[in-house]
Structure 1
Amino acid sequence: MSLTFTSDVSLNATEAAVFLSERDVAGQIPINFVTTSAVSLRAACFGDNVFDRNSAGRCISDLLVIGYRRFLVDVYWSPDQRDWLFCPVSFSQDIPVVTVSSASSATSTSTTATASTKTAQATVTAVASSSGSVLYELGPYRCSMNLNLSDLINVFHDFFQTYTSELTVYTRYISLNLHAAASATSPTEPAVSVTGSQLPTGSEFISALFDERLSSYIYMPSELAYERANLNKSWFEVEDDYKPITEYFTIQEDAKKEQSTPDGWPCGKYLQLAKEKRLLIDYGTIDSQMKDYNQSYMGDVIFPSGYLTSTISVSLDADGSLDTGCFYNPDATTVSQVNNSWALSDYIPIPSGLSQNSTIAAMTTVISNLTACGLTPALNKTLFNQTADTDIQPYDEISLSTSWAWGIGEPADAASSDDNGYASVDRCAVMDLTKTGQWRAVNCTESRYAACRVGNLPFTWQLSTSPNTFRESYNHGCPANTTMAIPRTGLENTYLHQYLLTRTDVLDPSSTLESQTNVWVDLNSIDVESCWVTGGPDHGCPYASDPQQLERRTVLVAAIAGIVICIIAALTLFVKCNANRRNSRRNKRVIKGWEYEGVPS
């Protein structure tokens, strides 16, 4: 039986608001410039060298729920089992098996087949795991027999089918590192090269496995090529809110005024909401033993090695800030000068000798600095010797720390609007200079300066001429050729933060210190509590007055529509039967049937 999506963890209201508002703010930025969270499946789920199938399903499911977007996946091809395994060792069926009830007490001996003289020198111990799986001890590893790549694919498939609301749809990425499985007779020795008939064929290819179950969700290389070649018929054909910000890629125009791009990527809103695509896959590293593997087989499913990943070497100062590898450049004004396309860092040191809370705090500081510098942090260490299925909390904290926008505990809960329909409490966002440039929610009627973007430049900002309320600042607070705006990526946020720290503007001497250290950004939840939107104080929540009510209403409408269809079908059948009965009495009369307009919308 294949694994399914199974998780009993969930995001709290604040975490959900953080992820959703950040997704929406970055919704028009091309996906290659949006930092996200990455995790090594080997570290998070199998760091104890136990490849338990049931535990793996729960681990992958939990990581998806708590917000990890990019999965770094190590798979091992077993010529013996003709399968892509998560266990680094291939288990041949002709090796004797010793069954024990625990790791130390033998109960019986059996073989899966008659052992040959050569293989009889080695035996494999079968142990029952706490989850009910049978694990085979293969050197330092304990492995379920058939924990494979198809299990991961099935969990993703079920997850995508479970989370279908606009409120919960996010782009996911899978990077595949290909290895050859070692032999069970020498599990700690390097695997031999896989050649000839030992290589995958047909449905065994990774691309075929993904295509069979997830093709409707995958954004494929051919789609990117087609859309790049004719922007007028792809990214620019949709509504304005779904179009990518053009300052982030090169646009070329031919004599027919048809536009194309050699380097652009679609934005999140276009992918997730307009095209309903939720997954991109690429090859990562490929071991020399697998060099003959045909990556081009069904090449339209998986991007080539490194296409979605640019690993950046970084070095850190003692306080966790980046000494090298940061994409912030104070002299830059265009994206081409700080091109952090697909930038990723897998260097997140885990300090020793600290309590768990202090260790997490130190790690989240580094992660925040990485995202502020335009890099996706990749967690490739097992946290506190516990896999995510055993203790999800530290993995949850690391996932949340990859958010570049809100400060800890923000956005704080807001009360209802006043009698005039205008929020009188914490429904508007400011960048807080006392919190390293992160955001927090404050009263919309307070007086603050506003952050104003110069033209359409991603990294160039000015300050409003005077402090004012959120509404007044948005309507007429910014200087000419600027508009009140919000940073849309971690790197844009850093540029605004650094500008505010080093600005030379002459501020109103009568303004309060708080108004100078808390600057309005274009984000509010005035319309609906916890629904944070850009576009000014009068921009409504796109998810209805109550997101949960919206989902309930969607189900109800579908149910009612189904009932109406059944009633109409029954009535139609009744009418036709009645007509047929009349026809039997009036043989010469021909009735062509009823015409009706169909189900009302």
Structure 2
Amino acid sequence: MPHPVTGLSLTSLFVKNDYSLDSISELGDLLQTGMQAIMVDLYWNEFTSVWQLCPAPFPQNVTYNSNDKVNVTWNNVMYTCEYGFTTDNIMSIIQSYLESSNTNFEANFLHLLFNLKSIHYEKSNLTMSLENIYKPNSLSNIMGNSTLNATVTPIASYIFSPNVLNDYRSKVSLSSSSYESYYNRSDIIMPTLETVLLSQYKRILVNVLSNDVVSSPREYSISDADRNLIFFNTTLPTSVKSATEAGPYCKEVLTPSNKSEKYDNLSLTTNFDYVIDSNSNRFDRNSVQDFLRCGLLPIFNATSYPVDNKNVSDVGDIFSSFAPYLFWSWRAGQPSVSNGSSTNNSSRDRDENIKASYRCVVITSNGWKIDDCYQEYQIACRNKSAPNDWYIPYSNTKTYFDVDRNDCPNGYNFSLPRSSTEMLSLMSAIKEQDAQYPIWIDLNDITISNCFVSGGPYAQCPYQKTVTTTRFVRMIAPASVICIIVFGLVILEKLLRKNHIQSNRKRYWKKTLAEYYSKNDYEGVPS
């Protein structure tokens, strides 16, 4: 099952049909704040045979300045379009973000989604006048790309493409870990997110959500070069639901069930399920988290959203208000720790101690949260070969530090859900086994603050190494011993050295100088 992400339709940025570079000025900031999907409507212009962002064709000779904004009309709708505003501007923003965040710690995975549409006309004697207006002439400067693969070429090195996927499938080993082997039972084998980001070094997937290009002699034909770089529904199954359709679906998925096959079917179904809202049925903060938790990928497409009894239309403010709810795992406002802001020294010390112990993670009825590692709770044990099979030892409550491998029955280990479906199956098991929230899961940031890892309290952060006191002593001990020995030898050499030649030389010159001054007795200062 794909990793749930949240995204934005660029159409919501083109307020009042203003298609210009100014309209997407916030796109870079939105990527920095965690938005991971961008949906773009691309229009195939049958007059110029290029892909463009403006939904209307430009009349010939309307302008020769790429920075000009012009009013254009198509199908009785008026648009204000910047002549030189193309997909290259969008790719530049995405490329800049990918380059700035291309580190092990910051790298995330993006979705670039295309809806293909047409600026279409029926060619006949009655439409000859249209061609005279919109067909470019020898002076025209055609703006746009003539192929889909050329449209995404600026970010091609970062793209997780069908070719990359096929190469992975040809090399994948079915004898890998039991966790991966389970998911390799799927009809469509996909690499893990870790493999994509940190082994294949890919950051973005380009997926065509819909292809509404009108069939005509001037339509765009998808080429092999396009299929090698971009996913279509034939190469990677994709579905799109409206917010109205997604509600009942999620309600069914989120209802706990003691039938493990329900979650197995969800886990082994490899397709991308997007949910797109509208002004008539908009996301709210609770519904968007429910959609993420049931495996859907929400795309914000409305022009305003209800936030604290107000309608908010600014995209930055919308994402800021929704940000705490854009995780399938963490509950809203988590992870968080005490800020230790007390002014009193004893209070500050006490707060720091509390902060130091709040480094472990529990699952609650509405998501993960930070808790005190020294609290005693039940623990979540997962079947090593079946990720949706969980067992919670009934009477075995432990602090996080005291959890031992023997606390789980044979075939199970202390673990955590690694997908939204695994989390749903765990929450279902908690209810079925009459366990009590909160429950420890194997996640903490003990070694490095804000670097959450699994593997127990001594698991190392993969992005930043730590050196314990014991390890530091072991590292410097050999060098320290050698330095002490050398220093001791130097001291001994200074104290015990007897150099007869040097001693005789000093006595000789003292005697010679004394004899000289006795024979040459000066009065006053010699000239």
TM-score normalised by the chain length of structure 1: 0.63
> Over alpha carbons, which structure has the higher Rg?
2
- After superposition, the C-alpha distances for 1:400-442 in whole angstroms (9 at most, x for unaligned) are 4231111222111257999xx9985210000123xx2x01111
Is 1:427 paired with 2:348?
Answer: no
Are 2:183 and 1:248 aligned?
A: yes
The answer to whether 1:279 aligns with 2:204 is: yes
Which of 383, 387, 394 is the aligned partner of 1:454? 383
For residues 78 and 303 of structure 1, do their structure 2 counterparts lie closer, same or farther at Cα, with a shift above 3 Å needed? same
Question: Hey, what does 1:4 align to over in structure 2?
Answer: none
Aligned length: 429
The corresponding residue for 2:16 is 48
C-alpha separation in 2, matches of 1:152 and 1:75 = 12
Amino acid at match of 2:3: V
Distance between the aligned counterparts of 2:422 and 2:228, measured in 1?
33
Q: CA RMSD, aligned part only?
A: 4.0
Structure 1 segment 221-236 matched on structure 2, within 5 A:
221-232=162-173
Deviations 1:168-216 (A, max 9, x none): 1111121211112368xxxxx9xx99xxx99x9x9621112323x2221
1:503 corresponds, among 407, 412, 433, to 433
The residue number in structure 1 matching 2:291 is 370
When residues 323 and 527 of structure 1 are mapped into structure 2, their CA distance, relative to the original with a 3 A threshold, is closer
Q: Which amino acid aligns with 1:157?
A: Q
* 1:150 maps to which of 88, 91, 101: 88
Contact 2:14–2:23 at 8 Å: present in 1 too?
Answer: no
Q: Deviations over 1:152-181 (max 9, x none)?
A: 122211221121221211111212111123
Q: Distance in 2 between matches of 1:78 and 1:391?
A: 29
1:498-529, CA deviations, whole angstroms, 9 ceiling, x for partnerless residues? Answer: 22123146xxxxxxxxxx32100110011111
1:35 corresponds to which letter in structure 2? P
Alpha-carbon shift at residue 277 of structure 1 (Å): 0.8
Report the AA paired with residue 172 of structure 2: L
Q: 1:377 to 1:236 in 2, by over 3 A?
A: farther
For structure 2, the 5+ residue unaligned runs are 122-126, 137-141, 341-348, 467-527
Task: Say which SS state the counterpart of residue 84 (structure 1) adopts.
Answer: strand
Aligned pair partner of 1:439 in 368, 372, 387: 368
Contact kept in structure 1, 2:179 and 2:384, CA below 8 Å: no
Aligned equivalent of 1:218: 159
Residue in structure 2 matched with residue 159 of structure 1 by the alignment:
97
Q: 2:183 corresponds to which letter in structure 1?
A: Y
Query: Deviations for 1:388-408, whole angstroms, at most 9, x for unmatched residues?
Result: 994402123335423111122
How far, CA to CA, are the matches of 1:217 and 1:387 in structure 2? 37
Counterpart for residue 6 of structure 2: 37
User: What CA distance in whole angstroms lies between the structure 2 residues aligned with 1:401 and 1:370?
Assistant: 11
Q: Aligned partners of 1:250 and 1:217: how far apart in 2?
A: 28
Matches within 5 A, 1:140-219: 140-181=78-119, 204-211=146-153, 213-219=154-160
AA aligned opposite 2:460: G
TM-aligned CA deviation for residue 47 of structure 1: 4.3
Instruction: Calculate percent identity across the aligned residue pairs.
Output: 20
Instruction: From the superposition, tell whether residues 39 and 399 of structure 1 become closer, same or farther in structure 2 (CA, over 3 Å).
Output: farther
What's the secondary structure of 1:371's corresponding residue?
A: helix
- In 1, Cα distance between equivalents of 2:255 and 2:149: 34
Residue matched to 1:293? 220
Q: Which structure 1 residue ranges, 5 or more long, are not aligned?
A: 1-31, 96-111, 114-125, 127-131, 184-188, 252-261, 353-358, 506-515, 547-601
Q: Using the alignment, how far apart are the partners of 1:86 and 1:47 within structure 2? A: 14
Which structure has more relative contact order (CA 8 Å, sep 6+)? It is: 1
Aligned pair partner of 2:38 in 71, 95, 107: 71
- The alpha carbon displacement at 1:469 in A equals 0.6
Distance in 2 (CA, whole Å) between partners of 1:54 and 1:182 is: 27
Cα separation, 2, equivalents of 1:304 and 1:504: 45
| C-alpha contact 1:180 1:290 (8 A) present in aligned 2 | no
Q: Aligned to 1:33, what secondary structure does the other structure show?
A: coil
Q: Does 2:327 correspond to 1:403?
A: yes
- Over 3 Å counting, the alpha-carbon distance change for 1:310 and 1:325 in structure 2 is farther
Please state whether the residue corresponding to 2:168 is helix, strand or coil: helix
| Local SS of the residue matching 1:224 | helix
CA contact 1:284–1:306 (8 Å) conserved in 2: no
* Letter of the 1:392 counterpart: G
Q: Which moved more, 1:221-230 or 1:448-457?
A: 221-230
Partner of 2:300: 379
C-alpha displacement at 1:448, in angstroms? 0.8
Give the CA deviation at 1:331. 0.9
* Structure 1 residues 313 and 324: alpha-carbon distance in aligned structure 2, compared to 1, 3 A threshold: farther
Q: Structure 2 CA distance, aligned partners of 1:172 and 1:530?
A: 22
Q: Is the contact made by 1:410 and 1:439 (CA closer than 8 Å) also made in structure 2?
A: yes
SS at 1:322 equivalent:
helix
Q: Letter of the 1:368 partner, please give it.
A: Q
Residues 290 and 160 from structure 1, CA distance in 2 versus in 1: closer, same or farther, beyond 3 angstroms?
A: farther
Structure 1 or 2: more helix by fraction:
2
